[in-house]
Chain A
């Protein structure tokens, strides 16, 4: 138990956390306006077609009228952009989380619930807990470590629990069924339609998919930067392939996946190039002091 606690709060670079947080907040306007446009469509759908989730009743959330949907949409976009500046990370971050949560309630309350955003929601929930973080920070932080670890665990659980659901709802013989065939018939692209002529291919893909999902907790064992970059590359490949085949991409989940990357290396890259170009005095023996002034700021 103690070891698990230590693993979960292992100090990680503050710079990694800072970059990831900006990426997450900047993704929100993209998600809301471009890549998930159908949530905002619900503004035009009569509220009689609203099928409230348990949480909507528990929290007494308002009926998603046109005013509510458009109000949440724009408040969310503005708050996320403000949060991306890094100012008032706790207050703005908490607001973004609450607004995005409500946005998801609006999304999932019309007869279909997706599970592509669990890790993204977890990310939004934990990002405000770290306080001020800058990408030039050189320190490691246990608070940042906990937050990043939470996101990574949520990413892994999304795969692992998806396998569980397949066994629960589909049974162990899910792998020999025609679920992927059905997916390709319903949503297949020109890149995927040929697979329908090779039924065993898609059954094989189902074996691989369930196997990968069941083994996904091993992802958390990737310790070195190199191993984690390889894991992210593999998973991105998986999601891109799915997109090419049936135009489903777990984009918010993919953004959460980026929490595994060693973003702190960006700083080293930019500083190295500054040194290479003989930037005024920066390379003369005190490489770390002038640029990392905010680095030691406590995170609480």
Chain B
């Protein structure tokens, strides 16, 4: 059986081998360069940076969420699937959303598209919960802060205290 198997081996020609090794080398160089100098926007050759930043052992842990009030008057947090954006995506765009809270209207639009049968949102807040850490351990204390807010009837950006 070994013999039969080797009989059917296929090899690469000189060109086929050279092209393949060159392609592998190019991808290796790009991936290495992305890791050493690149940023996220260089995907797929950006740095593999999930969980790569260091969280200080006495620095609060931030967790962002979206709170909303519906036209029916119900207040509560909105799930990722309802806005079409993951928490990390909201966090990635946070500076932009804080600078211009009227952009939150886009999230209200996306909510309506994803939930056509539910009452629309009349107020959206981006809230960050800061969990206190002491020497790397959670103390159980936390505080909530509204980073940006938008109201349906008032499209002018609302200053956040």
Residue B143 at the chain A interface, CB threshold 8 Å: no
Complex-state Cα separation, A161 to B44, whole angstroms: 13
Residue A94 at the chain B interface, CB threshold 8 Å: no
Contact string against B for A residues 277-300, beta-carbon threshold 8 Å, 1 for contact and 0 otherwise: 000000000011000100110111
With known contacts A9-B17, A140-B5, A182–B55 Cβ distance under 8 A: yes
Contact string against A for B residues 49-66, beta-carbon threshold 8 Å, 1 for contact and 0 otherwise: 111111111010101000
* Contact size range, A: 35 or more
Residue B71 at the chain A interface, CB threshold 8 Å: no
Q: Identify which of B12, B42, B54, B61 contacts A54 (C-beta below 8 A).
A: B42
Those of B1-50 within 8 Å (CB) of chain A: 1, 4-12, 16-17, 20-21, 24, 27-28, 31-32, 35-36, 40-44, 46-50
Contact A166 B51 (CB under 8 A): yes
Contact A9 B47 (CB under 8 A): no
Per the CB 8 Å criterion, the residue count for chain B at the interface is: 66
B102 to chain A, nearest CB (A): 11
Closest to A184 in B: B138
Q: Which residues of A contact B27 (CB under 8 A)?
A: 122, 150
Residue B147 at the chain A interface, CB threshold 8 Å: no
Complex-state Cα separation, A199 to B8, whole angstroms: 57
A-B contact pairs, 11 of them (CB 8 A): A48-B103, A112-B91, A112-B92, A115-B46, A141-B9, A146-B24, A153-B28, A169-B54, A178-B61, A181-B61, A185-B61
Q: Footprint of B on A, CB under 8 Å? A: 5, 8-9, 11, 14, 37-38, 41-46, 48-49, 51, 53-55, 101, 104-105, 108, 110-118, 121-122, 129, 137-143, 146, 150, 153, 157-158, 161-162, 164-166, 168-171, 173-174, 176-183, 185-186, 196-197, 199-200, 202-203, 287-288, 292, 295-296, 298-300
